[in-house]
Amino acid sequence: MAGWNILATAAEGRRDALLLSLRRLGARVRGGGYRNVVVGRVDDLPGFLDRVREALATDPLLPTALAKLVPIEATVRFTAEDAGPTLAAAAEPFLDRLATGSFFVRLERRGLKGRVHSPTVERDVGGRLWQALEARGVTPRVDFADPDAILAIETIGDEAGLTLLDRTLRRAYPFVKMR
């Protein structure tokens, strides 16, 4: 799906219920090509997150189906050979926001099994961002316990969705999370 700005995962075996629930809330969604994964587009991302939070409290279907939902700010194509440099370049627009506090990089990979090693790519992207921040005169800080921001990278085959999940967003919307 070109231009996807949400990725959601369903509770085991509940993908169809998740698709139905998200469509009721105004998302244009489809299966992501991997088990229990849904990708889609919404026009008003903050409003959509509010509707999901409300539906989780009032709708009997959505809480049984939704495992997590990640808003996506940018997408990029990559190859196994250039994953680190390509994903780090795609994350450059987030540098100003990363410069204000602690962070870490989390990659949730779907596809490219045996060709992309998630922890290696996370370290590569994190190291490149660290160097870019230092070049700006910023002293970067990594915090895995309660970071100010998580650079979330969600891949579907050779396409990645990137976003910054800041602490405020994660607290306001507990369903927006990374493993």
Q: What pLDDT, in 10s, does the model give residues 52-78?
A: 999 999 999 999 999 999 999 999 999
CA 27/CA 5 separation, integer angstroms? 10
Q: What pLDDT, in 10s, does the model give residues 117-169?
A: 899 999 999 999 999 999 999 999 999 999 999 999 999 999 999 999 999 99
For residue 118, what is the enclosing H or E element? helix 118-135
User: Residue 1 pLDDT > 60, yes or no?
Assistant: no
Parse the chain into domains and list their residue ranges: 6-72, 74-171
Q: Which CATH class is domain 74-171?
A: alpha beta
Q: Which residues contact 89 (CB under 8 A, 6 or more apart)?
A: 76
pLDDT of the residue at 2? 60
Q: Is the model's pTM score more than 0.95?
A: no
In this structure, the strands spanning 37-41 and 149-156 are unpaired
